[in-house]
């Protein structure tokens, strides 16, 4: 087995140049009311306003743009419940590459429609576990190149451009950055960028109680596969984290904490009410951790919160938001 080589700050800088013609430089917004509620000086990196509604096309564009010509001609394949699917479909369309996306049959309907609207072929198959088996079958039959959802150096480098942009606002590094964790690509990229350019900034991860794959992997010292995933944050619920991402998190991330679905719902409602931002459950998890005192940083410090996505199925919005406005105990 070849050695796993994480991306460098130079890879991330190159990715920033590569993706710039295709993606938004998303805003970094403050909120006086949410800062007062949490006791932190909060800034929100609004990846919910990115192309396709999440940070995912950053990594997808960078990965696809660095394919060799032969692989690009054959086409690519990936697997995703939604946001990565849209990111890859968008990136492939921009770069003129044929894309196939395998999605579990439980994928949110609006995300399937959006993926197809970018021109990708979508194959709906089984649950998240059997969908991986389907991907391997189709990849082998058609000779396609895999664009991994989270465990690939060039994909991680693309996601790391979020970290670069966090440092551009006023030049002063944040005291802490809080990032939602699914497969771990985003937090690995952000932590890599910040460790090189702002090593004093502390990085924390947040994952759902019902899909705590990174927490379990950190405890075990190796990737752990979960057969039972139970959370409203589908964007943070792959059955395992990336091996490369785990290695980066072990070295560069201070800790990973868990939040409940109730806490995520409340954070979603606050972002909608106070900032007029519609953020999906996965995107609201980082704020949920801060709202419930789970990030061990001093009050009054400058904290960046990454709102990783905003792809909420309108048909499910009412059931995702809490029926009350009191914070959970």
CB 90 within 8 A of CB 24: no
Residue 144: which of 249, 70, 242 has the closest Cα?
70
Q: Is 249 helix (H, G, I), strand (E, B) or coil?
A: helix
Tokens of 274: 């106070």
Residue 282: which of 167, 166, 150 has the closest Cα?
150
What angle (nearest 5°) sits at the alpha carbon of residue 190, between those of residues 248 and 313? 110
Establish whether 2 is a catalytic residue.
no
145 φ, ψ to 5°? -95, 130
Find the catalytic residue in 51, 56, 80, 111: 56
Beta strands in the chain, from DSSP E residues, in sequence order: 28-30, 41-46, 76-79, 99-103, 121-124, 145-146, 176-180, 202-208, 255-259, 302-307
Q: Is 8 helix (H, G, I), strand (E, B) or coil?
A: coil
Residue 40: which of 250, 315, 264, 302 has the closest Cα?
302
CB 5 within 8 A of CB 48: no
Tokens of 137: 């079958």
Residues linked to residue 180 through DSSP beta bridges, in sequence order = 206
Establish whether 308 is a catalytic residue.
yes
CB 28 within 8 A of CB 304: yes
Q: Is 189 helix (H, G, I), strand (E, B) or coil?
A: helix
Active-site residues: which are they?
56, 308
């Amino acid at each position: 087995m070849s050695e796993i080589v994480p991306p460098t700050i130079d890879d991330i800088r190159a990715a920033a140049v590569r993706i710039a013609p295709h993606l938004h430089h998303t805003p970094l917004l403050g909120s006086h009311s949410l800062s007062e509620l949490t006791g932190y000086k909060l800034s929100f990196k609004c990846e919910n306003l990115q192309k396709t509604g999440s940070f995912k096309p950053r990594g997808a564009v960078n990965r696809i743009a660095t394919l060799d010509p032969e692989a690009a001609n054959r086409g690519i394949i990936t697997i995703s419940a939604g946001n990565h699917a849209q990111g890859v479909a968008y990136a492939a369309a921009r770069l003129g590459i044929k894309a196939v996306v395998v999605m579990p049959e439980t994928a949110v309907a609006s995300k399937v429609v959006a993926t197809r609207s970018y021109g990708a072929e979508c194959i709906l198959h089984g649950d998240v576990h059997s969908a991986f088996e389907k991907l391997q079958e189709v990849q082998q039959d058609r000779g396609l190149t895999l664009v991994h959802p989270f465990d690939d150096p060039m994909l991680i480098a693309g996601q790391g451009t979020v970290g670069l942009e966090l440092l551009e606002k006023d030049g002063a590094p944040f005291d802490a950055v809080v990032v939602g964790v699914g497969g771990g690509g985003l937090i690995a990229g952000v932590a890599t960028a910040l460790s090189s350019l702002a090593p004093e900034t502390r990085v924390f991860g947040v994952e759902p109680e019902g899909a705590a794959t990174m927490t379990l992997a950190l405890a075990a010292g190796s990737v752990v596969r979960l057969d039972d995933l139970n959370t409203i944050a589908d964007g943070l619920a792959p059955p395992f984290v990336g091996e490369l991402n785990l290695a980066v998190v072990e070295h560069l991330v201070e800790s990973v904490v868990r939040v409940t679905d109730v806490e995520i719902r409340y954070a979603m409602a606050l972002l909608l009410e106070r900032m007029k931002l519609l953020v999906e459950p996965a995107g609201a998890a980082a704020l949920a951790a801060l709202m419930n005192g789970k990030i061990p940083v001093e009050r009054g410090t400058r904290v960046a919160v990454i709102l990783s996505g905003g792809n909420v199925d309108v048909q499910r919005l009412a059931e995702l938001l809490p029926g009350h406005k009191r914070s959970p105990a």
